[in-house]
Structure 1
C-alpha cells in the first residue's frame, strides 16, 4: 500500500506552496488516478513522494519510507517525463545499462520490451522513436526491476487513442498481479474510465477522494455530442421541443459544427433531427467534466428549463460551493473522517540521497559501449596521429620518441592524450547531460564504486587508444620510409611515460567533469595541465638547488645490504626520470587537486559515500 501523509512543498516567494497538506492512499491491486488541472501540483506531489525535492510530509511504500528501502528501484517504478538517455543510444542498450544500475539481470531488458510491445524496436535509437513508442520504452524502464508500485506522471500525454487503451490495459494487468498503480492526469473522463479510485486535487489541496463509480456519478455529467452542418437549426429545434415538453435540456454550441446537449440521450436527439430533416454527421453519448462547461460569455448557450429546475439547481450549486470554499472545512481523509490541520509543522525534509548503480563496473562498460563515441574518437585520433607522425619524420629534427607519439613541440598534448582526456570528460559529462542514474535531478550519485569504475574503464580505454595510435604511427612510418623508430635503449621508460600520460589525462577528464558537471569543462581542465601547470612545475624543477639526488641508486643498494641486483639501478633511474618530468609532475598535482575537489563537492552536496 502507498500512503501519502501531509505532503507539503516549500512555499515559493509571495506564493502559496504547490502542494499543501495532501493526504491520500493507493491500495494494492487497484489503479489510482491523481486528477487535477495543469499547474495543480500533481507532478510536485509525485516528486515529494519520491523525495526528489525538499518538503514536509511522509510517504510510506508498504510501511516504509523510500529512504529506508535498501533498493528503491526494485520497490517503485517511476515515469517522470521522457526516457533519460542519450538519443544515439539504442533502446536495448539503454535498458541494459539501467538493468546494471538497478542490479537486475540484463535479460530483464528484453522481457520488459516484450511486455510493452516494442521488442522489434530494440535496435532503434532513442532519438528516432515516436511519441507513443517513447512512452512505451519509458514504461519498460519503469518495469525493469519488477517493482510493486508504479508512479507515472501523465503517462498517456500525447498518445493516440489506441496507445491509450493499451496503456490502461497494462496498468490494469500490473494491478491485477497485486501491485499498486498511481498515475496523474488532467482528463476526468480518463480517470473515471481507467482508475478504480480518483483523487482530485486543486491548487495543491485535496478536493475529493472517491471510487471511480462515485466520481463518475457526482463529478461528471453525461452529454450527447452532435456534429452537424446545421448546428444552429438543430439547436433551435431541440430547444423548442424541450420547452414544449417541459424538460430541462442544456445545449452548448462548441467550436465549429459541434453541439453538446445535456439532459437528454442519443435516441431523443436523433429522432428530433429526423423529424425536422436535419442532417447529422455524428451522434454519440459522452461523459465530460462538469467544471469544463463553456461559460455563457465564451459560447452561446441555449437553455430550456423550467423555473423550478433553475431554482433547485442554483441552490444545490451554492451549497456545494460554500462547502468546498469554507475556510474551516478540513479535507476528507481517505477513510472518510475529517481532521483539523495542526498549526505546528515539522521541519522540511531534505532531498533523498541517491545511491549509485548496484553493478558499477558493468554499468560503466555498457555506458561506454552503448554509443559510437569511443570508436569515432579512436578513428579520429589515429588519423591525426599518423598524419602528424609522418610530418615529423619527414622534417628529421624531432626525437624518435616524439615522432612515434606524434607529439610536436607546438602542441600541448599528443592526439592520443587529447582523445583519452575527451573520453574521460564524457564519463561524467554524459551523466549530467542525460541523467540516467537520477532522472530529473541534475545530479549523479558520488559513490566510491561508481568513481572507481569510471577511472578503471577510462584508464583501459586510454591505454588501448595509445597502443592503437603508436601501432598505427609505426606502421605508417615503416610503410612510407621503410623503417620505424624502434630499438631505442630507453624504450621501456618511454612506454611507462606514455602510459602514465594517457592514464593521467583520462583521469583528469573524469574528475574535472565530475567537479564541474560538464564534459567541456573536463576537457578544458585536461588542456590546462600542459598550458598552465607544466610551466610552473618546470620553473620549480629547473631552478637552482643546493641538494642533489645523484647517487640515489647506490644508496638504495647500500640499504639493501648488497642484495640489490645491478639491473635494478637502471629501473630506479628510469622511474625517477619518469617522475621528474614536468608533465608527469603536473598531472600528479592536478589529479590530487581534482580528487580533493571532487570529494569536497560530494560532501557539500550531502551525498552519502
Structure 2
C-alpha cells in the first residue's frame, strides 16, 4: 500500500505551495488515478513522494519510506516527465544499462521489449523513436526491477486510442497481480473509465477521494451526443417537449451540427427526432465533465466550449511519417504473462559491488561521444608530435606527450577531463539511473565506480597516445633520433598521474555543479589559474625543505629499509612536488569535499 501523509511542497518566493497538505492512499490490487487540471500539483506530488522535491510530509511504500528501502527499483517503478536517456543511445543499450544498475539479468531487457511491444526497434536510437514508442520505453524502464508500486506521470501522453487501451490493460494486469498503480491524468472521463479509485486535486489541495463509480456519478454528467444537419430545430423541439413534460433537460450546441443533451437518454432523443422528421447522423451516450447549467434546465446555449473528442472519431496515428510502424501492442494475454513473470522474479537478489561498475561501463560505451573523443585526441596528438619532432628543439617527453609550450594541457589530458565531465554531466542532462526520478543520486558506490572507470580510461588513453606518438616518430624520423631517457619511470608516472587527475577533476566538477561544462572548466582551471599561483609560492625563498625525507625515513626504519623503496619514494616526491601535481591534488581534494558536502546520501547504497 502507498500512503501519502501531509505532503506539502516548499513555496517559492511569494507563491503558495504547489501541493498543500495532501493525504491519500493507493491500495494494492487497484489502479488509482491522481486527477487534476494542468498546474494542479500532480507532478509535484509524485516528486514529493519520491523525495525529489523539498517540502514536508512523508510517503510510505508498504510501510517504509523510500530512503529506508534498500533496493528502490524493486519496490517503486517510476515514469516521471520526459523519457530519460541519451538520445544517441540505442533502445537496447539503454535497457541493458538500466539492467546493470538495477541488478537484474540482461534477459529481462529482452523480455520487456517484447512485453511492451517494441520488438524490431531495439537498434533504434532513443532520439529517433516513433511517437508513442518513447512512452513504451519509459514503461519498460519502470518495470525492469519487477516493482510492487508503479508511479506514472501522464503515461498515456502522445498515445493513440488503441495504445492507450493497451497501456491501461497492462496497468490492470500489474494491479491484478497484487501491485499498486498510481498515475496522473487530466482527463476525468479517462480516470472514471480506467481507474478503480480517483483522487482529485485542485490548486494543490485534495478535493475528493472516491471510488470510480461514485466519481462518475457525482463529478461527471451523462449526456447524449447528437449529430444532425438540423441542430437548431432538434434543440428547439427537445427543449419544447422537456418543458411540456416538466423534465430538467439541458440542450447545449457544441458547435457545427453537434448537440449535447443533458438529463435525457438516447431513446427519448431519438423518438423526438423521429416524430418531428429530423435526420440524425449520430446518436450516442457519453459522459462529460461536470459544470453547472448556465441558465437552468431547458436552456439552449450556443456559446459552449469547443466540441470534445468523440468516441467514434478515428484514432490518431501512432507514428511519424517515415518512422516505420510501432510494433503491435501487447494484449491481455501478454499482460497476464507479465504478471506471472513478475511473480517469478526474485524480490531480493544478492547485491554485488560490481553492479555500479557494470553500469558505468555500459554508460561509457553506449554513446558515440566516447569513440569520437578518443579518435580526436589520437589524431591531434599524432599531428602535434610530428610538428614538435620536426623542429628538433622540443624535449622528448614533450614530443611524446604532444604538449607544446603554448598549450596549458596536452590533448590527452583534455580528452580525459572531457570524458570524466561527461560521466556525470550527461546523466544530469539525460537522467537514466532512476528511470526518470530526477537528479542523479549521489551514492558512494556509484562515485567509486565512476572514479575507477575514469582512471582506467585515462591510463589506457595516456599509454596509447604515448605509444602511438613514439611509433609515428620512429616511422617518419627514424629510431636513432628518439633515445629513451634514463628517468622514464618518473616521467611516465607524471604523465599518467596528470591524465588521471584531469579525468577526476572533470568528473567531480561535473558532479558538484551538475554540468559537463563545469567539469571541463575545473580541468582547465588547474594549469591556467592554480599552477602559476603555486609556482610563485614554491619558487619563493624557503627555510625548510622535504628533500631529505627518504634519508630520514631510512634512518627511522633501520635495516628493513630497501633501496628500491627509497628510489620509488624519491620519485613520487618529485612528481607530487611539481606545481601541477600540487595544484591537481588541492583541486581534487576541494572538489571531493564539495561533492560530499552538497548531498552525499548515505542511506541510498549500491
Question: What is the TM-score of this pair, normalised by structure 2?
Answer: 0.82
Quick check: 91-100 or 174-183, which moved more? 91-100
Q: Distance in 2 between matches of 1:607 and 1:178?
A: 26
Match of 1:377 among 373, 376, 388: 373
1:408: how far off?
A: 0.7
Give the 3-state SS of the residue equivalent to 2:104 in structure 1: coil
**Larger mean Cα displacement after TM superposition, 137-146 or 153-162:** 153-162
Question: Does residue 287 of the first structure (1) align with residue 287 of the second (2)?
Answer: yes
Q: Structure with the greater relative contact order (CA < 8 A, sep ≥ 6): 1 or 2? A: 2
Q: Look up the match of 1:392.
A: 388
Superposition pairs of residues 565-604 of structure 1, within 5 angstroms: 571-602=568-599
Distance 1:474 1:482 in 2: 10
Q: Residue 119 of structure 1 aligns to a residue in which SS?
A: coil
2:255–2:302 Cα contact (<8 Å) kept: no
Say whether residues 1:363 and 2:352 are aligned partners.
Answer: no
SS at match of 2:135: helix
- CA deviation after TM superposition for structure 1 residue 161, in Å: 0.7
* Distance (whole Å) between structure 1 residues aligned to residue 446 and residue 534 of structure 2: 31
Residue pair 1:356, 1:445 contacting (<8 A) in 2 also: no
How many aligned positions are there? 556
Q: What is the aligned counterpart of 1:408 among 404, 411, 414?
A: 404
Contact kept? 2:396, 2:482, Cα under 8 Å: yes
* CA distance 1:572–1:23, change in 2 (3 Å): closer
Q: What does residue 312 of structure 1 align with? A: none
Match of 1:479 among 475, 479, 493: 475
CA distance in 2, matches of 1:414, 1:478: 20
Distance 1:54 1:566, change over 3 A: closer
From the superposition, tell whether residues 54 and 517 of structure 1 become closer, same or farther in structure 2 (CA, over 3 Å): closer
- Give the equivalent residue in structure 1 for 2:258: 258
RMSD: 3.3
Partners of 2:370 and 2:390 in 1: CA distance? 30
Greater gyration radius:
1
The Cα shift of 1:217 comes to 2.7
Alignment of 1:140-179 (within 5 A): 140-179=140-179
1:466 aligns with 2:462: yes
The residue matched to 2:476 in structure 1 has which SS? helix
The worse-fitting range, judged by mean Cα deviation, of 113-122 and 412-421 is 113-122
> How far apart in 2 are the matches of 1:161 and 1:204?
29
Mapped contact 2:445–2:605 kept (Cα < 8 A): no
Give the aligned partner of residue 97 of structure 1: 97
Contact 1:116 1:140 in 2 (8 A): yes
Residues 98-119 of structure 1: per-residue CA shift (max 9 Å, x gap)? 2333333333222222221213
Aligned equivalents of 2:38 and 2:246: distance in 1?
Answer: 39
5+ residue gaps in structure 2? Answer: 304-350
Superposition deviation, residue 166 in structure 1: 0.6
| Residues 412-491 of structure 1 mapped to structure 2, 5 A cutoff | 412-437=408-433, 443-483=439-479, 485-491=482-488
1:189 to partner: Cα distance: 1.2
Query: Does the 8 Å contact 1:356/1:446 carry over to 2?
Result: no
Task: Give, in whole Å, the separation in 1 of the partners of 2:78 and 2:568.
Answer: 56
Superposition deviation, residue 260 in structure 1: 1.3
Q: Is the 8 A contact 2:454 2:503 kept in 1?
A: yes
Output the TM-score relative to the length of structure 1.
0.82
Give the Å deviation of 1:375.
0.5
* Runs of 5+ consecutive residues of structure 1 not aligned to the other structure: 304-354
Match of 1:492 among 457, 482, 489: 489
Aligned to 2:116: 116
Rounded Cα–Cα distance in structure 1 between residues aligned with 2:534 and 2:411: 22
* Residue in structure 2 matching 1:501, options 487, 498, 503: 498
Cα distance change of structure 1 residues 536 and 21 upon mapping to structure 2, 3 Å threshold? closer
> How much has 1:454 moved relative to structure 2?
1.0
| Further displaced range: 532-541 or 14-23 | 14-23
Shift of residue 13, structure 1, vs aligned partner: 5.6
Q: Alpha-carbon deviation of 1:606?
A: 11
CA distance in 2, matches of 1:582, 1:56: 48
SS at match of 1:181: strand
Q: Shift of residue 434 of structure 1?
A: 2.2
Secondary structure at 2:40's aligned position in 1? coil
The Cα of 1:186 is off from its aligned counterpart by: 1.8
Q: State the shift of 1:417 in Å.
A: 0.6
Rounded to whole Å, the distance in 2 between the matches of 1:485 and 1:32 is 73
* 2:515 maps to 1:518: yes
* Greater Cα shift, 565-574 or 242-251: 565-574
Partners in 2 of 1:603 and 1:132 — Cα distance?
36
Contact 1:504-1:591 at 8 Å conserved across structures: yes
Partner Cα separation in structure 1 for residue 585 and residue 502 of structure 2? 10
